[in-house]
Structure 1
């Protein structure tokens, strides 16, 4: 068997085997690129407020207390918008996942016990609304994208395997496309929209596949991080020589009781963050009440191509910081891992990168369709020709 014949065989059958999953993952991925923007478009009353000229943002503890009244479950996540976005709301979440050993059923929603997201006006303290994240369209889209809405341990393996096979089809497709000379290359870079459907379909498959190749490889390879631990570990090994220890220890100091201070520990924590960072690109706070710990991540622009962020751990009993990991202290592998999501959806390159990721995802979704039609057309044509010859005999 000739080399290109073998490559064509692999390209064809691997593509057929993984095509349906690749189509689903690509379509949902295209939607999720603009998840934040689309959510704001459909829910403007939840995500924006009129910044009060003379007013100021209320203490974080008051906003949290107001949000707590909207849910029966404890608040454990706080999302603060960038300082430049004075018309964005503060988001409070109550989230509890089921322990892995207790997960039952086939579908992903069995992994979450509850998840409420509450939107609060930071100037008035009014609760603007609440959604059940599990039933939210964009959360469902993400779960279909990552796990086909199946249980994490099942769905991630199916998606990850299909994406790995898709990477193989991309590489084999480039090998099949590669021309013998420049004249042929120029011809293969154009789509003849005046041609008949079969020829047009063939051009759409190979030409769009070529133009999307690099971006599709980046999107696919970064997506594998959420499917396979060995893939993530391999990249860490390549960049750092080992997997770094990112575990944050529980606070060991004995914090002062809340009653001893007129200021809430949460407000002390937030005051320290504001003191350190006059401006930021958003803050994520995870409250671990069971161990009296608050993990705070501050996102910055930074003078780097990476998605920059600094992380701190505070004692929730006293509001004092006892751990930090700054962007400059991170290893290359840690900088990559913190940036992996932004690379995956194109945000690392701003709005332009997001549009590139969106278009690339649509092209990736089209490749299994156009490829299937090429395969089916040739197979059907062969059968038809065979039947015609038998009729003549």
Structure 2
């Protein structure tokens, strides 16, 4: 069989099979792009938060300290207001989730339907709610879409239009249904091929993050600063968290606290460079302490090797938070393109059969 026939057959059958999975992943991903705004609006209504003005970070930290003192060792995880949310989230060891006002610590509610909906949506997007195999289905489908369907589609497009490039980028609106369907398929594919490659490649990271880090480890492995002296600093009591972490990580803000449990014996204080939706690099840091809150280990973006700093950007690139609103809108559109390609691809196949 000639190479052209092989590429054409590969593009056809992978498109008809893998294309269905990628289309579903794209739709769920497009919905999740606007999760901060939709969730904030619905959560405020569900929790009856009438004053939706953002609470200051310092006040949120102060309230967090008080909540820890009240609930003691029954907490599994504590999270400060993040992105568009305006509540402090407490997950308890028994699995329940409570929400508190960041300004006064007032109890707002538990196990929100909005929160549950978006958690389910995210699970559908990442693993079809089929653990652990669903994650591999989605990850492998993303890589096949990236390196087989899109690349083979480009090679077929190039073979047809290598001597008439302009026609390869345009649609003839007055053509027959069959021709119009084909033109729509080729134009949607060629215009969005680069964003789709980036989206599918970054999406597979959530399944194969270990392999990605190994792959990126070929990048220069250097550190910006030495943190060996920082590990000797004590976090101290909860009243001094903010003071001590300013010394350790002056450009970061406390994001969440993971408490000791049967699985993890130590505390983990997670920090991020911004709690808002902002463009730029995603920078996180983790301070690990023992039960006496004495620092045992620090992991920071500033001191991570270049390979880890590169893979850390997979999330903001995939979700659309690296280059502002335009990036988010582009990710939203890209999530719908696989479905358009899938429908027009099936129609093209049926037209040809007829």
Q: 1:60 aligns with which of 64, 82, 85?
A: 64
User: Which residue of structure 2 aligns with residue 19 of structure 1?
Assistant: 19
Corresponding position: 1:156 with 2:135 = yes
Q: Report deviation, 1:64.
A: 3.5
- Which is worse superposed, 56-65 or 27-36? 56-65
> What residue number does 2:257 align with?
285
Q: Distance in 2 between matches of 1:335 and 1:17?
A: 35
Match of 1:267 among 211, 236, 239: 239
Q: 2:309 aligns with which of 318, 335, 342?
A: 335
CA separation in 2, counterparts of 1:329 and 1:277?
A: 11
Shift of 1:287: 1.7
Residue in 2 that maps onto 1:384 = none
Aligned ranges for residues 365-384 of structure 1 at < 5 Å? 365-379=339-353, 381=354
Where does residue 248 of structure 1 map in the other structure?
none
Quote the residue 2:326 is aligned against. Answer: 352
Alpha-carbon distance change, 285 to 191 in structure 1, aligned in 2, over 3 angstroms: farther
Q: 1:13 to 1:59 in 2, by over 3 A?
A: closer
1:315 matched to which residue of 2?
A: 290
- Give the Cα–Cα distance (whole angstroms) in 2 for the partners of residues 156 and 240 of structure 1: 30
- Pair member with larger Rg: 1
Say which SS state the counterpart of residue 238 (structure 1) adopts: coil
For 2:152 and 2:32, how far apart are their aligned partners in 1? 28
Question: How far, CA to CA, are the matches of 2:55 and 2:217 in structure 1?
Answer: 50
Question: Which residue of structure 2 lines up, in the alignment, with residue 361 of structure 1?
Answer: 335
What TM-score, normalized to structure 1?
A: 0.74
Kept in 2, the 8 Å contact 1:117–1:130? The answer is: yes
Which whole-Å CA distance do the structure 2 matches of 1:190 and 1:231 have between them?
39
The 8 Å contact of residues 297 and 309 in structure 1, kept in 2 or not, is answered as: yes
Distance 1:265 1:351 in 2: 40
Does the CA-based 8 Å contact 2:55-2:102 persist in structure 1?
no
Q: Deviations over 1:193-215 (max 9, x none)?
A: 34333222212211111111111
Rounded to whole Å, the distance in 2 between the matches of 1:221 and 1:364 is 14
CA RMSD of aligned residues (A): 3.5
User: Aligned pair 1:326/2:336, yes or no?
Assistant: no
Question: 1:283-338: CA deviations, max 9, x gaps?
Answer: 1222224555221222116xx95312232123342x33332233221111111222
Q: CA deviation at 1:8?
A: 0.9
User: Relative to 1, partners in 2 of residues 1:351 and 1:59: Cα closer, same or farther, differing over 3 Å?
Assistant: same
CA contact (8 A) 2:284 2:301 kept: yes
Query: Residue 348 of structure 1: SS of its match in structure 2?
Result: coil
* Closer/same/farther in 2, CA of residues 13 and 219 from structure 1, 3 Å limit: same
From 104, 109, 116, the equivalent of 1:129 is 109
Structure 1 residue 88: Cα displacement: 2.6
Q: 1:373 to 1:52 in 2, by over 3 A?
A: closer
Q: Which runs of 5+ in 2 are unaligned?
A: 224-230
d(CA) in 1 for partners of 2:295, 2:334: 43
Change (3 A) 1:370 1:234: farther
1 CA distance for matches of 2:63 and 2:118?
A: 30
CA–CA distance in structure 2, aligned partners of residues 312 and 25 of structure 1: 34
Tell me how far apart the structure 1 counterparts of residues 261 and 242 of structure 2 sit (CA, whole Å).
Answer: 16
Distance 1:298 1:59 in 2: 17
Aligned with 2:166 (options 186, 190, 208)? 186
Output the CA distance in 2 between the equivalents of 1:27 and 1:190. 26
TM-score for both structures, normalised by structure 2: 0.81
Offset, 1:342: 1.0
The Cα shift of 1:144 comes to 1.1
Q: Give yes or no for contact 1:115–1:134 (8 Å, CA) kept in 2.
A: no
Distance of aligned partners of 1:286 and 1:192 in 2 relative to their CA distance in 1, 3 Å threshold: farther
Matched, 1:297 2:270: yes
Stretches of structure 1 lacking an aligned partner (at least 5 in a row): 96-113, 245-251, 257-263, 382-393
Question: Partners in 2 of 1:166 and 1:189 — Cα distance?
Answer: 21
The alpha carbon displacement at 1:220 in A equals: 0.8
Task: For CA contacts below 8 A with separation 6 or more, give which structure has more relative contact order.
Answer: 2
